[in-house]
């Protein structure tokens, strides 16, 4: 967390020409200036001299404007600060839909008055306005589009736009621009989402074939597996969910007969480190990234080498004749190995556990502190769609994929992996899936609340997996950019919640909610016993109790007999 200190405050409004802005933390601005001095930024003198002239830590407008395009590590300070605020407590609705200040006074609303981020349109009854776009956010030159109608319509254009070379996609996970050093086994150094059009057309049909469907046999197997995964005494949320999803994805890709070549516990640890470090390392130089994050990069290489023989075994023959299409990565097997690791680490391996874990939080945590945002005492339905509708709502409310980006004017890295990922003059367009999923124009006045809706409504409106980024007339569907595993992901969630004995589990923890990934704290579920119900005594007095209320104690029923019961005494 110390890496955050150099830019650990949100960007205040830019002042008028002769105004000055008061920066909120002496340590933060001092560290920022030292970072800039070390990097040789031209605005150091202006910022430093204004601080000296104004000992109360006010800085000039010229300093502020300079800092908007200054860099800390790999990316502009403005972009870094915009994104860090979500890790520091700002919710997505406030970040994208709150009032914008001097630079963009017509954008945003007062979310204390309009908690959805939208306000009623006085000119059109039943319509809402205020959060259509967020300009220069995150970062100068980026525009976030938050309207459901716009996102829904624009997604279908991306297959053709990228295939034609009109737009470019980089090493990005939603709004996050990730550090390239973590993908050095492929060229461009990018997650599969940023692969070239030629590379994408090689890998996408394979992914569609492997994870694109989940038939009745698949669904039955997932349900049985979910029952088995919940058969124990304790569930660590979300670690145990990640393990279950990882195992099921592996079986779907390589077959149940294969053995996972990389230890599952190590995988969980590596996933968490990679997601965190590949983001925070953008605050560092390449040399510092390789020094401080080297063990994680090495572990990714170990996983790559462990999986590559399996990829060769199952897909080597198919890929052998396509190496020219995978250039500048020399080997399609290398490209496929990296892309399948991305699926396990990030795509399904991160979003599906996230949806299940947040759903379990709604069912078992005390959410009363958040008013009527979450339903109190909600019970899973026992009808034919048991689990599916609830999982849909968890994915709508707790967006597993926050944004879908592309560049209309690419940064320098588009043609040279050694260049910057955010260049002066570059233009980035991001479809904000998270905000589109809460647009009251599509989802109603209660869009900012967790409310399970009809199956048809989800089928018609859901954009959480970039569902509409499909155009099968382009490269026979090989340039489709919707998640290839939508059906499998939904069936996984349905299986878990269909198998979940809601009344049989409880938590002793008090996990809280924040409107930013990962949304809720980690917590533990126990196969709970009601007060007075029988329980199993723990030999180790420091071990976990299966009683969600009190502890497992000997309760005497007469002078010579008794039993172990959950008791508050």
Measured between alpha carbons, how far is 109 from 118 in angstroms, rounded to an integer?
7
Burial (CB count <10 Å: 0-12, 13-18, 19+), residue 146: buried
**DSSP conformation class of 6:** G
Mean pLDDT along residues 83-112:
90
**209 in helix, strand or coil?**
helix
Residues 44 and 156 in one domain: no
On the question of pLDDT at 480 being above 80, the answer is yes
What pTM, to 2 d.p., does this model score?
0.85
Is 411 found in the same domain as 350? Answer: yes
pLDDT digits (tens, 9 = 90+) for 380-410: 976 657 789 999 999 999 998 999 999 999 9
The verdict on 442 and 551 lying in the same domain is no
Rounded distance between C-alpha atoms, residue 465 and residue 233, angstroms: 33
Q: State the pLDDT confidence band at 67, using cuts at 50, 70 and 90.
A: low
Whole-number pLDDT of residue 40: 38
Asked whether residue 417 is domain-assigned, the answer is yes
Which tens digits make up the pLDDT trace of 304-334?
Answer: 999 999 999 999 999 999 999 999 999 999 9
If phi > 0 it is left, if psi is from -120 to 50 it is alpha, else beta; for residue 404 that is beta
Average pLDDT over residues 21-26: 33
CA atoms within 13 A on the CB side of 16: 2
Identify whether residues 404 and 547 lie together within a single domain: no
Q: Is 407 helix (H, G, I), strand (E, B) or coil?
A: strand
The answer to whether 465 touches 486, Cβ cutoff 8 Å, is yes
Question: CA-CA distance, 69 to 43, in Å (whole number)?
Answer: 10
- Beta strand residue intervals within 148-286, DSSP E: 172-173, 176-177, 234-237
| pLDDT value at residue 87 | 85
Assess if residue 86 is contained within a domain.
no
The confidence score (pLDDT) of residue 4 equals 26
SS (H, E, C) 454-523: CHHHHHHHCCCCCCCCCCCCCHHHCCCCCCCCHHHHHHHHHHHHHHCCHHHEECCCCCCECCCCCCECCE
Residue 551 pLDDT level (bands cut at 50, 70, 90): confident
Residue 564's SS3 state is: strand
Shared domain for 497 and 540, answered yes or no, is no
Tell whether 559 and 489 lie within a shared domain: no
Domain boundary among 72, 91, 111: 72
Tokens found for residue 188: 């461009």
Q: What's the order of all strands across the beta sheet hosting 427-432?
A: 133-135, 142-145, 427-432, 403-409
One domain, residues 42 and 188 = no
Tokens found for residue 50? 């204004």
CA neighbor of 468 nearest in space, from 431, 517, 516, 427? 431
> Do residues 300 and 403 both lie within one domain?
yes
Instruction: Judge if 301 and 244 occupy the same domain.
Output: yes
515 lies in some domain? no
pLDDT of residue 29: 41
Domain count, the chain: 3
Task: Give the mean pLDDT of 236-257.
Answer: 97
Same domain for 298 and 248, yes or no, is: yes
Residue 159 above 70 pLDDT? yes
Residue 35 has pLDDT above 50, yes or no: no
Quick one: tokens of 37? 């001095």
**Within-domain flag for 122:** no
Domain membership of residue 519 (yes or no) is no
Cα 363 to chain center, whole Å?
Answer: 21
With beta carbons less than 8 A apart as the criterion, state whether 318 and 336 touch. Answer: no
Same domain, 212 and 340: yes
Phi, psi at 19, each rounded to 5°: -80, 165
From first CA to last CA, the distance across the chain in angstroms is 40
**Pair 190, 284 in one domain:** yes
Helix (H) or strand (E) holding 72: strand 71-72
Distance CA 398, CA 437 (A): 9
**Domain residue limits at 537:** 528-567
**Among residues 23, 48, 72, which one ends one of the domains?**
72
The domain that holds 248 is classified in CATH as 1.10.630.10
């Amino acid at each position: 967390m110390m890496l955050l200190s150099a830019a650990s405050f949100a960007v205040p409004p830019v002042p008028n020409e002769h105004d000055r802005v008061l920066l909120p933390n002496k340590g933060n601005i001092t560290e920022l200036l030292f970072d800039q001095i070390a990097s040789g930024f031209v605005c150091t003198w202006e910022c430093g001299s204004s601080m000296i002239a104004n000992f109360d830590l006010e800085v000039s407008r010229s300093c502020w404007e300079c800092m908007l395009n200054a860099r800390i590590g790999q990316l502009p300070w403005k972009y870094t600060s915009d994104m860090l605020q979500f890790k520091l407590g700002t919710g997505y609705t406030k970040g994208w839909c709150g009032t914008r200040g001097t630079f963009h006074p017509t954008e945003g609303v007062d979310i204390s008055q309009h908690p959805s981020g939208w306000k009623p349109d006085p000119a059109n009854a039943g319509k809402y306005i205020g959060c259509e776009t967020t300009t220069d956010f995150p970062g100068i030159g980026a525009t976030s589009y938050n309207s459901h109608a716009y996102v829904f319509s624009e997604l279908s254009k991306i297959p053709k736009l990228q295939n034609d070379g009109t737009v470019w996609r980089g090493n990005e996970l939603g709004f996050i621009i990730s550090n390239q050093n973590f993908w050095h086994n492929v060229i461009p150094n990018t997650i599969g989402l940023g692969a070239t059009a030629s590379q994408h057309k090689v890998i996408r049909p394979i992914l569609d074939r492997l994870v694109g469907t989940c038939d009745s046999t698949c669904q039955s197997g997932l349900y049985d597996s979910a029952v088995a995964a919940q058969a124990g005494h304790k569930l660590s949320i979300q670690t145990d969910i990640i393990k279950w999803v990882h195992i099921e994805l592996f079986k779907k890709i390589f077959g149940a007969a294969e053995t996972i070549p990389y230890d599952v516990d190590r995988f969980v640890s590596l996933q968490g480190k990679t997601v965190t470090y590949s983001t925070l390392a953008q605050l560092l130089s390449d040399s510092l990234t390789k020094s401080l994050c080297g063990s994680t990069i090495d572990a990714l290489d170990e996983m790559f080498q462990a999986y590559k023989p399996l990829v060769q075994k199952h897909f080597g023959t198919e890929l052998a004749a396509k190496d020219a299409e995978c250039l500048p990565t020399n080997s399609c097997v290398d490209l496929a190995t990296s892309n399948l690791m991305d699926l396990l680490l990030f795509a399904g391996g991160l979003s599906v556990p996230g949806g299940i874990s947040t759903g379990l939080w709604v069912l078992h945590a005390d959410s009363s502190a958040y008013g009527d945002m979450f339903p109190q005492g909600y019970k899973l339905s026992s009808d034919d769609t048991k689990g599916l509708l609830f999982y849909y709502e968890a994915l709508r409310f707790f967006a597993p994929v926050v944004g879908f980006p592309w560049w209309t004017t690419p940064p320098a890295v588009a043609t040279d992996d050694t260049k910057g990922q955010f260049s002066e003059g570059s233009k980035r367009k991001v479809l904000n899936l998270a905000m589109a999923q809460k647009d009251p124009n599509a989802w109603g006045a209660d869009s900012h609340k967790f409310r399970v809706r009809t199956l048809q409504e989800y089928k018609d409106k859901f954009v959480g997996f970039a569902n509409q980024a499909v155009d099968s007339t382009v490269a026979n569907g090989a340039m489709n950019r919707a998640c290839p595993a939508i059906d499998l992901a939904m069936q996984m969630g349905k299986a878990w919640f269909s198998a979940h004995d809601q009344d049989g589990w409880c938590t002793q923890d008090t996990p809280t909610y924040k409107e930013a990934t990962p949304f809720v704290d980690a917590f533990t579920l126990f196969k709970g016993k009601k007060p007075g119900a029988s329980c199993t005594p723990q030999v180790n007095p420091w071990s976990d109790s299966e009683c969600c209320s009190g502890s497992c104690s000997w309760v005497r029923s007469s002078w010579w007999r008794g039993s172990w019961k959950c008791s508050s005494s």
